[in-house]
Structure 1
């Protein structure tokens, strides 16, 4: 029974760890997502070709490094982000991260559900009245594989990821021909304006919430190398590819979504298959993330029930219009999510020196005010920063928490001497 429940409140045991191919399949399926292409489309019209490549590489290198650092900690402890939050924020204080992370995943789930329904109605020229029923159908349908657990996510991703890579290659090949060659693509000039800081924030923000919670799968890694390599493959290479696909489509066809691009290229069947593969492999991972946060929030191992409840909430948000709120939502994620991961990493390396005790062996406080205070400081700095807010949030939160730990350590030493 426990094996099918994926250990929502405990560490993953050694005999349940997974290989590199298994981990990469699940994580790449997670990061191959339509919203990332839409974000890339906004960048594609605002920068020249080489500047665009630099932004994509830098933004995704930051994102990949952040996610890979958390992935290694998850491998070492066997714990996901919300369980690691108990060390950093306290037994009750960790509910803050549960709420923040859970809410963002529901937002993603709502957006993905709405996207598939709206795009499918447009592609198949169905009556507009079909949109809401399709949202309900997809909202609950996507969560089926998530209720089963890791094995179902892995199977779906091993089928979908190669299929999506083929469609992306087909799209690139036809696009380069249509634009007149690589040289014509390179000399295209931007038609919109955006600051580099805002662009990197969008790139980082596209999947920083997912990167923070990718520990739900990296904790299954057999080795530290598997955890790090699979996470970098997904969040540096995979997410970077999705941003570039969106930018490419915007430059050549004035369409950021590869589904629309494939339709304009005459590949209707490929477009429909890409739409389902792209959305489904992210949706089931997203609602799986919500269930992990929900189980910790309510201290329950009923992961399947929490998954269905999350799907219902996401479906309601989809019907209420989440489709039109993508860019503000990405900026929100880039501001308030990264400090959580930064404090967990600081806790692991600075406080515990890379040797975190198991949950059953450590006496944790109800509230870790040092971690909570550092989160507030880091989030505030990110919100007010005119520079790259996710990076500012990570640095300020980590430094603040390190300072609090240092002060507390000195205070304890003085008390022991007295």
Structure 2
């Protein structure tokens, strides 16, 4: 009898413990792991990562770049340029994705190994400031055309759109993924229909391939435009790829995203410019009288990029301040929203310069991991970091100088200059023991 009375108690305890475990697991899944590695239990499968990464590459500025390429290249040359550019981008981001999936670390935490714990504040600051700038510019890129069409108060549009974009970044990776599942198919389908209509209006695909620009771009200049449009965002690939369940999923979804998503944005921009003189697909839709679809595609396109930018900026400032990412996302989102008009009018010229400062960061991470540490990083919690690794700071500066002063494909030269100089400087200044680690490897 006594044993029978104990059984309900054991059952209740087991039920409560199971509930606690489920709550703990849900809490684990909701975390953004801003200051630690993403555990294997929080890994995501192919389709979630695919939608997240494609949504990341659906970027309005890439359409503007595609429009520039469309004005300066024949369509066949445009295709070759985009393939070459995205091959370079895909290689760069794929290597970063592989490191992130193996380590579970964001871009900002990865820089601690190459730049040092305090030295990592420099890349985190540059990446975060650039992303907040893009956030503000993105809010205005949505608000201005909507205000023009609807006549609504511009500040109401800015505040509402900024708040919505901040909300998904605040909610974290689950909200970013959920938005991508809605936005990616909508943008792809509506954009393809609109571009198809524009091509038919100009006389069909044969006329598109027969198009010849009045002023031509060189291949070097065209590839530089292709790379420059998204190289800064590509440097932040680990912030998202770290959630992949396996390295194969991380690398494959990243490569597909840049070849599919980024190429589609370039295609929309180039075809739109050739057919209608408008590079943004939403503007093409406006001219076609498709007002509501244009607003939907414009909003979703910018939203999928802006919430990723804000999310990444939160991770960057969290690395510097050790404040939770969620709190920083609110601060960054509020600043980007209230300063959107100023950023749009004044900051966009600085973004070109800032974009040159970011590729060397990713190149140094790649060089450090693959060439200096034999593809092995000690676990974050087990590693004793240097305060500042000046060889990384100097290599970064060399990469920026290469972008500024070597004519040609500036983003590519900045990456190569930083990577090569870092490997040389690391071999000169690092002790042999610093290149090896007997500690437990990440994951």
| Both proteins in one fold, TM over 0.5 | yes
Distance 1:12 1:366 in 2: 24
User: Does the aligned pair in 2 maintain the 1:140–1:308 contact within 8 Å?
Assistant: no
Q: 5+ unaligned residues in a row in structure 1: which ranges?
A: 414-418
Q: Displacement, 1:169?
A: 1.8
Q: What is the aligned counterpart of 2:132 among 106, 109, 121?
A: 106
Q: What is the aligned counterpart of 1:29 among 52, 55, 59?
A: 55
Distance 1:60 1:325 in 2: 26
Matched, 1:197 2:220: yes
Structure number with larger C-alpha Rg:
2
User: Does the aligned pair in 2 maintain the 1:102–1:289 contact within 8 Å?
Assistant: yes
Q: Secondary structure at the match of 1:152?
A: helix
User: Does the aligned pair in 2 maintain the 1:206–1:330 contact within 8 Å?
Assistant: no
Q: What is the aligned counterpart of 2:157 among 124, 134, 139?
A: 134
Distance 2:400 2:254 in 1: 25
Q: Displacement, 1:359?
A: 1.3
Deviation digits for residues 314-356 of structure 1, max 9, x if unmatched?
Answer: 1233121425764x45532442111100100111112211111
Q: Displacement, 1:412?
A: 7.2
Q: Superposed, which structure 2 residues align to 1:9-408 within 5 Å?
A: 9-124=35-150, 126=151, 130-300=153-323, 302-322=324-344, 326=348, 328-329=349-350, 331-408=352-429
Poorly superposed stretches of 4+, deviation over 6 Å: 410-413
Q: Displacement, 1:132?
A: 2.7
Q: Displacement, 1:269?
A: 2.1
Deviation digits for residues 264-295 of structure 1, max 9, x if unmatched?
Answer: 22322211211121111111111001111011
Number of positions where the alignment pairs a residue of Structure 1 with one of Structure 2: 408
Distance 1:412 1:233 in 2: 38
User: Does the aligned pair in 2 maintain the 1:202–1:334 contact within 8 Å?
Assistant: no
User: Does the aligned pair in 2 maintain the 1:46–1:190 contact within 8 Å?
Assistant: yes
Relative to structure 1, the CA distance from residue 87 to residue 377 in structure 2 (aligned partners, 3 Å threshold; closer, same or farther) is same
Task: Tell which deviates more after alignment, 399-408 or 111-120.
Answer: 399-408
State the TM-score, normalized to the length of structure 1. Answer: 0.93
Q: Secondary structure at the match of 1:347?
A: helix
User: Does the aligned pair in 2 maintain the 1:143–1:287 contact within 8 Å?
Assistant: yes
Q: Displacement, 1:199?
A: 2.2
Q: Displacement, 1:192?
A: 3.6
Q: Secondary structure at the match of 1:191?
A: coil
Q: Displacement, 1:411?
A: 7.5
Q: Displacement, 1:51?
A: 1.4
Q: Secondary structure at the match of 2:72?
A: coil
State the TM-score, normalized to the length of structure 2. Answer: 0.88
Distance 2:127 2:220 in 1: 24
Relative to structure 1, the CA distance from residue 321 to residue 354 in structure 2 (aligned partners, 3 Å threshold; closer, same or farther) is closer
Q: Displacement, 1:136?
A: 2.2
Q: Displacement, 1:61?
A: 1.3
Relative to structure 1, the CA distance from residue 330 to residue 231 in structure 2 (aligned partners, 3 Å threshold; closer, same or farther) is farther
Q: 5+ unaligned residues in a row in structure 2: which ranges?
A: 1-26, 435-443
User: Does the aligned pair in 1 maintain the 2:220–2:408 contact within 8 Å?
Assistant: yes
Q: Displacement, 1:109?
A: 0.3
Q: Secondary structure at the match of 2:230?
A: helix
User: Does the aligned pair in 2 maintain the 1:334–1:389 contact within 8 Å?
Assistant: no
Alignment partner, residue 416 of structure 1: none
User: Does the aligned pair in 1 maintain the 2:133–2:343 contact within 8 Å?
Assistant: no
Q: Secondary structure at the match of 2:263?
A: helix
- Over the aligned positions, Cα root-mean-square deviation in angstroms equals 1.7
